[in-house]
Structure 1
């Protein structure tokens, strides 16, 4: 196991922001993870996890030992009539797991082609087309550097919310996830109520829609709208879809009849489409220095590859200000600032 000093992280974050870390190491087992922790303690450096870097914004330097999982095992733990419980190591590519999950059960199809690793998925509670990963997680296994303990939280203890979890709050920067146990459905009953997936409902009713076909369609949709981070630096959706009072949503919809509004379980609130708001505010395809809101999906900020973190925040602030002035809605950034965690 090698620990690299003054490690270049610019190719380990999908926005390609220039960043170095005091130290960097990969672990292929829990035993190696514990070795890295002991090294971080000896160096008096905090230990922070990094997946694919697809939902983080990196500063120029991170004073920490950055660790990345190289654990890639997938194992069926048990199976019942309704569910299959599958343990998946954190280092597995997320999309590869979605494709492979069909061998065990169903439910993850709508989350195909989301960049990142399995270990990062619970942190953000990734979601797409009406499905959130927290709905299909049984438990999360992680190492807590502050206590030196291996821990396990069940789904309720993870406190999953919209693009949120305990790993972004109390455990931010203090949880190295090394395994996630999924609870997959044994019966294929896909969520098709969102956007272009509605066109597949007839196929589901006739029995012609397969899990493979659904994954293929989700991949087609995402690829047509979202830039490939391997070709165009970005961190995916830059802003969360805002949740607003239903009264404000109704008021705005009277003014803008084509504005998408999504009902929530709480009838007092609705969810709006951040991409639509950004487009209407005039930022779709518009550049501000080396960064822009994507010409096909205004929710995604892209870079020409030369952007600094200051450039990113400058455009984010300008977009927030425009949307706030026009719609009285404040957009909240989705990606985390890497290395900004603090512990009590």
Structure 2
């Protein structure tokens, strides 16, 4: 049995990972989460208390982090400020959490020689042209375009430096856009789903030609667990499920699956620096570690996600009003 310290485990992909680990392994876990607006204790409801401990705290708190790392066999680092729009509005929290927080964790795992896995994003690579046949690989040069993606790129480079300079036992994964249960209503897919459930027309940035490579959070979780158990130390693995879809197609599919006309949405002003296309080549992960996604059908995964939000309004409703007020102020 292994005890994991999971940072950001009350957030979207972090909480999905906690559920995945508890359901499929004998591991125990301590969840460290600051419970910002994007963290929710209810995302961990129903998990066995004898296997999951929750601690509210900041990954930049060196004393707290050191004590938790000392009692852990491995650290899985999900905690991050991650919303592009918010990073454009106020970049400072992204530096504090994504850079200083990661540094604090790296120093703790260095002291205790603890296995470390760092969760990152494909946004560190910038974007691709819509007609570019290439996809991001582990060799793609970093080219971040927002305060969010630049601070995540910085955290990746810190991990690589601590591996090389101090021998920290770490791996990195960069994943494409996630969807699934427990995602905050500020994000693209849950915002559109909950708008339809509330009888509000969904909103689409610009013409909606921007392409994202979608992966269900369950598949992201299984990939991270595979890397934690089998990945080569010092290596980076890209996680993707071949789910490239443009935003217009996604919003129209949501409307169709929810029984609404496919064109029943409004266009709003595009956000500054909106990346054109992300696309992940996960060949290394699939061939080296024999990982495969279970949700190969985006429509099936999206249908299941819609049903989750339909059945769990008590989870998302408290954040909905404030989120829409924020976007209304920006006319988005």
Instruction: Tell me which protein shows more helix as a share of its residues.
Output: 2
Same fold flag (TM > 0.5): no
TM-score by length of 2: 0.26
Structure that is richer in strand per residue: 1
